[in-house]
Amino acid sequence: MIIRTSSHYGDDTCSSYVTAGDFIFLSHHAGGHESNDIVHQMEASFDSLAATLESAGATFGDIVQINLYLKNIEDFRVAKDVFYKYFKKDHFPARMTTTTDFVNPTCLCMLDAVAYSS
């Protein structure tokens, strides 16, 4: 069974998450754009992701894959260190990191993920 949820950011063309069986596909999450600090924006993005995970009945421990999108590759090391706040040591999901421009010019980072919750 596939279940789609409404958008958390006002875009009707994109669900906040879609469940397909035991998998939860989480759309892009960002935040903290009032600050030009990558740590602040990473934490806001993770907090947004946490809220969506909770609404889907899942936690960070259920994430099997996460994508990190950065505006500036120079932010990678600092952004990567934020993962230690949200994941237990030796329980990190598979991750891909890339750089990109964002529609919002103040956005420094964005996350999306796939979780498995049985």
What's the number of domains the chain is made of? 1
| Tens-place pLDDT, residues 18-33 | 999 999 999 999 999 9
Residues 110 and 30: beta-carbon distance below 8 Å: yes
CATH number at 56 reads 3.30.1330.40
**Domain range enclosing 64:** 2-116
| Tens-place pLDDT, residues 69-114 | 999 999 999 999 999 999 998 899 999 999 999 999 999 999 999 9
Please count the other Cβ atoms lying within 10 Å of the Cβ belonging to residue 62.
19
